[in-house]
Structure 1
Amino acid sequence: MTVPLIELCAVSRRYDEGPPALNEVTLSIAPGESVAVLGPSGSGKSTLLNLVAGLDRPSAGTVTVDGVRVDQLGESASARYRRARIGLVFQFFNLLDDLTVADNVMLPAQLAGTARGTAQRRATELLGTLGVGRHASAYPGRLSGGERQRVAVARALMNRPALLLADEPTGALDTAAGEDVQRLLTDLHADGQTIVLVTHDLALAESCATRTVHLLDGRVAADSAVARVR
């Protein structure tokens, strides 16, 4: 039996006296899966992603990722965990405008103590594979939205993470650029990358994911495999 890469057990998260953002969520994700988390605004999607990333802690329950009890980590240990095991892709790219594309991509490796030469070779490989190698010496502001998202994915993959987390990765893109990122995520999953994707876009979920998890009012309302058209 495959050991889950991600395991949430009876996880709840409350921020105030109102309803919980997550309410006793139990969820397992195996290595190599691509899972889309769907649901209306306020359903708990981003809260779930933040708990898996170690950016937040549950009020109750346990979060285990790649053998690490993420809910028990302190601030410094959480940062090390993200550097070693997690790649993060955000809706608005979060690239540093005063660094070149190559330096943006190398940043996670340098923070992890990787030698600059080794980081440069890895960055060159990733940027070439993702089709933006010609922009290595450019600054992010000179790139299109789709190109910046490709650079953000390269940065997320820099330290060879076990898990790629993507929060609305096409939300700030036009249709053509969104389709470009959609193909990129599909290709990454085909190469074996485990992906958890938060999105409002059902078409993106159906094209990139092998499984969808629907959240409603902080609970799992549905969990099903994505049907593929043959």
Structure 2
Amino acid sequence: MTVPVIELCDVSRGYDDGPPALDDVSLTVRAGEAVSVLGPSGSGKSTLLNLVAGLDRPDTGTVTVDGVRVDGLGEAASARYRRAKIGMIFQFFNLLDDLTVVDNVVLPAQLAGMARGEAARRAAELLDVLGIDRHANAYPGRLSGGERQRVAVARALMNRPPLLLADEPTGALDTASGEDVGQLLADLNADGQTIVVVTHDLALARSCTTRTIRLVDGRITADADAIAAESAR
């Protein structure tokens, strides 16, 4: 049996006096899985992502990622954890417009202390694999949305993270570019990358993930694997 990359155990998180954003959620994602998290606005998807990324802490329960108890980390340790364990892709790319494509890609490696030559080789490899090597010295503002998202994927993979988190990765793209990014995520998973995609886009979920979790009002209401197992009984 494959080792869990993500383990959430009885996790709850609330804000102010409203209902909890997450309410007693337990979840396991194993190495090599591609999981989509679906749900309406306010369902708890972003809170779940932030807890796994170490950007927020639960009120109760535990969050473990690749053997690290994320919920117990301080600010500095959380930053080191994200550099080592997490690659993140965002809806609006979050690229630095005053840096070239290759400089954006190598930035996580520089922050992690990777040797300059190794970082350059890794960046060149990623840009080639993702089909954007010809744009290495261009600035992000000169690229299409789909190309910018490929740069963001390269940056997210730079430090070879065990977990790739994608937050609405096609939300700012046209249909064709969105399908392209969905195929890219599917190809990465086929090569063994563990992926969690938070999205409203059911077509994206179907194209690049093999397990779908639905959140409603902070609770998991459906899990595609669990449903399939129940149907088989």
Give the TM bin, normalised by the shorter chain: over 0.9
Map residues 31-46 of structure 1 onto 2, 5 A cutoff: 31-46=31-46
What's the counterpart of residue 12 of structure 1? 12
Query: 1:2, CA displacement in angstroms?
Result: 2.9
Q: Aligned partners of 1:204, 1:191: CA distance in 2, in Å?
A: 18
Unaligned runs of 5+ in 2: 229-233
For 1:3, give the aligned amino acid.
V
Query: 1:53, CA displacement in angstroms?
Result: 0.4
Map residues 138-177 of structure 1 onto 2, 5 A cutoff: 138-177=138-177
For 1:64, give the aligned amino acid.
T
Map residues 1-230 of structure 1 onto 2, 5 A cutoff: 1-225=1-225
Identical counterparts, % of pairs: 79
Q: Secondary structure at the match of 1:146?
A: helix
For 1:208, give the aligned amino acid.
C
Q: Deviations over 1:2-21 (max 9, x none)?
A: 33110000000111111000
Q: Secondary structure at the match of 2:159?
A: coil
Q: TM-score, normalised by structure 2?
A: 0.96
Runs of 4+ in 1 over 3 A off after TM superposition: none
Q: Secondary structure at the match of 1:63?
A: strand
Query: 1:115, CA displacement in angstroms?
Result: 1.4
Q: Aligned partners of 2:63, 2:191: CA distance in 1, in Å?
A: 26
Alignment size in residue pairs: 227
Q: Aligned partners of 1:2, 1:153: CA distance in 2, in Å?
A: 25
Q: Aligned partners of 2:197, 2:139: CA distance in 1, in Å?
A: 27
Q: Aligned partners of 1:70, 1:107: CA distance in 2, in Å?
A: 23
Q: Aligned partners of 2:96, 2:170: CA distance in 1, in Å?
A: 19
Unaligned runs of 5+ in 1: none
For 1:24, give the aligned amino acid.
D
Q: Aligned partners of 1:69, 1:44: CA distance in 2, in Å?
A: 21
Q: Aligned partners of 1:136, 1:180: CA distance in 2, in Å?
A: 20
Q: Secondary structure at the match of 2:19?
A: coil
Q: Secondary structure at the match of 2:87?
A: strand
Q: TM-score, normalised by structure 1?
A: 0.97
